[in-house]
Structure 1
Amino acid sequence: MKFATKIIISCLLAMVVCTSIYLNAALYYKPEIKTEEQDTINYDLLLQLRYLKGAIASGEAEAMQKLYPEGYIFMHALTALAWHDFARQCDPSLALYEEAHTEISKSCSAITDDLAKSTFDPYLQLPYGAFYTGWSNFLLGKKLGLESMSKRNIEEVNLFKQQCESIAHALDSSVSPYLESYYKAAWPADMLMCIASLGLHDQLYTPRYTATIETWLKKVKTNLDVNGLIPHAADAVTGKPNEDARGSSQSLMLVFLYEIDPDFARQQFELYKRCFLGSCLGLPGIREYCNGTAGSGDIDSGPVIFGMGAAATLVGMRTMATYHDHSNANALECGIEAFGIPIKNDHEKKYIFGTLPIADAFIAWAHAGLPRKTNVENDVSWRNYFHIYSILIVTVAMLLLIIVWSYKKSFKKSNERSNLS
């Protein structure tokens, strides 16, 4: 075997060993908790948000729109909602709180501009559809909730209330619990955002949508999929499932359903875990398709690797935390930290080398929903299986390395014996 070939093979095997060591160490990730301006904050989350702040300022939201039909909205909404959760950790009198509020305000403005609306149809039963109205209105309501009554912009208050009224009016005249996001196309996850904004209205102002929400829930409960879950896609006219539940939409819906109907949400969560919580090489992940079924990745799911959905797993971290399953939330967080290839410095933190900022937005929002300190774990055994797999892989790599470098010596001895005979 030529010396150059040995070097190349050795380098590849060394990469396998080093990668295994890195991944196993990364599974013990703990976010950096730091005191800034007298507040104890998740500093890793702040660095993520600082990266997203710069990414949005440099036009990454517009770039994501070219890759994903709702990329612009998601980029702004998820980043702003993560800022919202971060702001709740801060004293309102401090600069970090003001920074968070400023970024939320920028994203609220961006979501109401012509570019944000250009993808959506203003002539649907609910103008601009359930996705646009749900996300834009929910974000606006969250912004108003951070502000005292005297500091709320009256135009924003009126817009929020008008959009809530539009949602309720459209629902009252619809047989289906799922209003269109696009012409004749409805996704329950989009509708959850609309209902969540109605619930938010009733927290901020005099309640008026209790009956609308209760009627919506009754319709939803009579239009579940074969597993008893809210479907991924539904008929916009009848509300009947068009596609059974999937991990990406379930992870997202359950975060918001918990605030709407906690009892129903917990029932759905248990079914969700039974159908979608899985593992790959011993590491927990969220399947995109229910256990026992298979499918490929698409624009909703992102990559599906060994059955585990990228979007489902990223958002699933927050889902688990929402339902106080901190062991699985921590496991998903550590897995994302290991395989997300984070790059961190004093100014920012980004994942996948910063090549897909919308993924960073999902991760930041998911991280923002975790407890500030995640050092309490109910179960750490999930790491053991991955450690065992890794030991086997490293052992094989080391044996191959020994074989490669002993090849010439063994070959030479074999030739000497042949010559003697």
Structure 2
Amino acid sequence: MRERRLGTWFLRGMGVVVTIACVVSIARFLWPSTDLDEQPGGTYRQLSFVRAAIEDGADKEAQGLFPEGYFFLNALYGLAWAQAGQHDPQRRAQALRESRWALDRVESADGRAAFDRRLRPAYGVFWAGWSNWLRGAVLALDGGADTALVRRFEQSSAEIAAAFTDSATPFLQAYPGQAWPVDATVAIASLRLHDRLRGARFEATITRWLGDARARLDPATGLLPHEVSPDGSIADGARATSQTMIHRFLPEIDAEFARAQYAAFRRQFLAYPGGFGPGLREYPHGRDGAGDVDSGPLVAGVSLSATVVALGAARVNGDPELAAALGSEGELLGLPLTLPGSKRYAFGLVPIGDAFVVWSATARPLTTPFVPARDYGLRWWWRIPWLLLLGVLALAPWVRPVVRRIGAG
């Protein structure tokens, strides 16, 4: 009898925990999202966690997950701080220190280790483009006071521009024999940032790249392809893991091209699997495929990593409805743990995921003002399936006891 009572109280206790967890999740889900020109209240707690994780070796662990792990974790941390510093002048000095710290790690031997020095630009367009974008972001905070950094930015920008000028294809190699258009997009954005900060110098290079890129769109989707051969021919059509990153940077380069590409991307990749969503399919509607190291495991065709990055793309493309929806879903599904000095997702098990989240959640244009908000359209009822699911889970532990009482009465 005593064991039965203990078992009953244990089940009731678990039921209370489940119900409270669901109620908290509903509150997080319905909490108003930040506007496009604002950043989440937990930004600095997130950055604190990522910094601590890097100091504990998370960047080296990330390198074991994919080839750019070390580089990306440090670069995204620095860029998130640079974006946060642009938003909050009172934090600008701290943002400058932290983003410089990250840049030093990106430029270190460890930051370059995975890349080939012999490529043009040196270490390949991925390393050159992302590191130059981070340099520009630091200088946007610094105002050009660091003359040594100014010289490096000028030199690296010139090297990138020369590589594009001398190339027969707009999509330079990131590794020997391998090229992804998204990497070229980041590199060209860094040239646009140079011209905003240091005076127009690379307009001809940027204009030529835009023309060449438009001429090499994926014919199936009308979007920039995911991967190309060294000669620029398409090896893999448009995919969400690269598209979401591309659309974070295209508005920095050319507003008209970005607007048309973003609308086409949204139309072909946004999905509501089983009525839930929104999320980003890894492959466009009508095409299926397997996940890989970039996309991660696919859930009903949806890439969770692409969906996270799409938050930043939505912010800089003036899509507040999608940005708010993806932010709310992140608070629901990301299992956020907020402590007085830190905030982490998925219990902090994958710090590079936290870096992508905070970089996307703080996304803001660095070369132009925020794009005016547009109504791209979102299913008005998209929250309802999530709320019904949470409601069912909250009530499920109490159905049987209630039925028993009714039967006993």
Name the TM tier (shorter chain).
0.7 to 0.9
Residue 80 in structure 1 maps to residue 74 in structure 2: no
CA contact (8 A) 2:319 2:374 kept: no
State how far apart, in whole Å, the 2-side matches of 1:229 and 1:77 are. Answer: 26
Match of 1:26 among 28, 53, 69: 28
1:222 alignment counterpart: 215
1:261 aligns with 2:254: yes
**1:113 deviation in Å?**
0.7
Unaligned runs of 5+ in 1: 34-39, 411-421
Superposed counterparts of 1:127-276, under 5 Å: 127-149=122-144, 151-154=145-148, 156-225=149-218, 226-237=220-231, 239-276=232-269
Is the partner of 1:27 in helix, strand or coil? helix
Structure 2 counterparts to residues 262-341 of structure 1, below 5 A: 262-280=255-273, 281-341=275-335
Change in Cα spacing, 1:7 to 1:381, as seen in structure 2 (3 Å) is same
Measure how far apart 1:120 and its partner are. 0.5
Contact 2:40 2:361 (8 Å CA) reproduced: no
Measured in 2, the distance between the counterparts of 1:348 and 1:252 equals: 26
1:370 deviates by: 6.8
Aligned residues: 390
Question: Structure 2: how far apart are the matches of 1:131 and 1:145?
Answer: 21
Choose which of 102, 109, 112 in structure 2 pairs with 1:107: 102
Instruction: Give the drift of 1:400.
Output: 5.5
The 1:202/1:370 distance shift into structure 2, 3 A limit, reads: closer
Task: Give 1:387's aligned residue.
Answer: 387
Contact 1:31 1:44 in 2 (8 A): no
What CA distance in whole angstroms lies between the structure 1 residues aligned with 2:374 and 2:235? 39
- Residue 345 (structure 1) aligns with: 339
Q: Match for 2:115 among 102, 116, 120?
A: 120
AA partner of residue 326 (structure 1): P
In 2, distance between residues paired with 1:32 and 1:240? 41
3-state SS of the aligned residue for 1:203?
Answer: helix
* One-letter amino acid of the structure 2 residue matched with residue 27 of structure 1: F
Aligned-partner residue type, residue 121 of structure 1: D
One-letter code aligned to 1:125: R
User: CA shift at 1:377, angstroms?
Assistant: 12
CA distance in 1 between counterparts of 2:226 and 2:85 reads 32
Shift of 1:309: 0.8
Contact 1:111 1:136 in 2 (8 A): yes
Give the Å deviation of 1:159. 1.7
More moved, 277-286 vs 310-319: 277-286
Report the alpha carbon displacement of residue 394 of structure 1 after superposing the two structures with TM: 5.6
Residues 215, 232 of structure 1: alpha-carbon distance in 2 compared, 3 angstrom cutoff: same
Gaps of 5+ in 2: 366-372
Structure 1 residue 395: Cα displacement: 6.1
Corresponding residue of 1:90: 88
Match of 2:368 in 1: none
Contact 2:92 2:141 in 1 (8 A): no
- The residue correspondences of 1:52-91 to structure 2 (distance < 5 A) are 52-91=50-89
Q: For 1:75, what is the secondary structure of its paired residue?
A: helix
What is the CA-CA distance between 1:18 and the residue it aligns to? 5.2
Deviation at 1:162, TM superposition (A): 1.5
Q: Distance in 2 between matches of 1:49 and 1:395?
A: 36
Which structure would you say has the larger Rg? Answer: 1
TM-superposed deviation, 1:396 = 6.3
Q: Is the 8 A contact 2:34 2:324 kept in 1?
A: no
User: In the alignment, residue 183 of structure 2 is paired with which amino acid?
Assistant: D
Superposed CA offset, 1:347-392 (max 9, x none): 1111110100000000001111279xxxx99876321232234445
Q: Is the 8 A contact 2:240 2:269 kept in 1?
A: yes
State the shift of 1:65 in Å.
Answer: 1.2
* Structure 1 position 67, deviation (Å): 1.5
Q: CA RMSD in A?
A: 2.8
The answer (yes or no) to whether the contact 1:327–1:377 under 8 Å persists in 2 is: no
- 2:39 and 2:361 in contact (8 A); partners too: no
* Cα distance per residue 1:308-329 (max 9 Å; x no partner): 1111110111111112211111
For residues 53 and 64 of structure 2, the distance between their equivalents in structure 1, rounded to whole angstroms, comes to 15
1:399 to 1:370, Cα distance in 2 relative to 1, 3 A: farther
Letter in 2 for 1:59: G
Given the superposition, is the C-alpha separation of residues 307 and 13 from structure 1 closer, same or farther in structure 2, using an over 3 Å criterion?
farther
For normalisation by structure 2, the TM-score amounts to 0.87
Q: Output the CA distance in 1 between the equivalents of 2:18 and 2:340.
A: 29
* Distance in 2, Cα, partners of 1:377 & 1:253: 19
Counterpart CA distance in 2 for 1:390 and 1:57 is 37
TM-score (norm 1): 0.84
